[in-house]
Amino acid sequence: METKWEGKVSTRLSKASADQVWPLFLDFFNLHKWFPSLATCYGVHGTNGEPGCIRYCSGFSISSGRSKGNSPQVSWSTERLTSVYHVQRSLSYEIVDSNIGFKSYVSKVQIVPDGENQSGCVIEWCFTVDPVEGRALEDLVEKYDLGLQLMAKRMEDSCTSSSDNK
């Protein structure tokens, strides 16, 4: 039996603090505001941001640099928030159902204050998934990295524009 794939990506934000970014992730039903390839995200069960709540997400798959001429396909998933740790600014979720080939998928996101830059933070996103037929772990990590970079830029822009308006 093949072992699970594990991946981790992270990005540093210099103009948005962990306290500014954490509520954006905790708004579990509204990931589409930040994640570039999501057209739709909404709650289907439970209270937003509380363990046990479930969201439905759909959008277009982000192509990795290694993808060859694949036209974008609409992908969807339902995802359950499994844990929230406010003090550590971390949450975990799992995919309950999807059309993207994941049989088992668990993800953890943590927002860490940047020790070098007190006004900044680091977003760490880890995942564990059963190997997906027809895909390579490196491609999956590359997609996550690209998605996280774009999402972090949107979040940072939102945090800096809202603090500019105060």
73-125 pLDDT, tens per residue? Answer: 788 999 999 999 999 999 999 999 999 888 899 999 999 998 776 789 999 99
pLDDT band at 163; cut points 50, 70, 90:
low
Average pLDDT over residues 11-26: 95
pLDDT band at 160; cut points 50, 70, 90:
confident
Q: 41: number of CA atoms within 13 Å, CB side?
A: 20
Given a contact cutoff of 8 angstroms between Cβ atoms, the answer to whether 16 and 120 are in contact is: yes
Q: Where are the domains of the chain?
A: 5-164
Rounded distance, CA 21 to CA 159, Å? 8
Reply yes or no on whether the pLDDT at 69 is more than 80.
no
Looking at residue 1, its pLDDT comes to: 56
- 9: how many CB neighbours lie within 10 A of its CB? 18
Look at residues 50, 43, 40, 42 and name the one whose alpha carbon lies nearest to residue 81. 50
Cite the DSSP H helix spans in 11-129. Answer: 18-26
* Residue 96 DSSP class: E
CATH T-level assignment (fold) for domain 5-164? Alpha-D-Glucose-1,6-Bisphosphate; Chain A, domain 4 (3.30.530)
pTM: 0.87
CA 85 to chain centre: 16
More confidently predicted of 89 and 160: 89
Rounded distance, CA 31 to CA 38, Å? 8
Looking at residue 68, its pLDDT comes to: 46
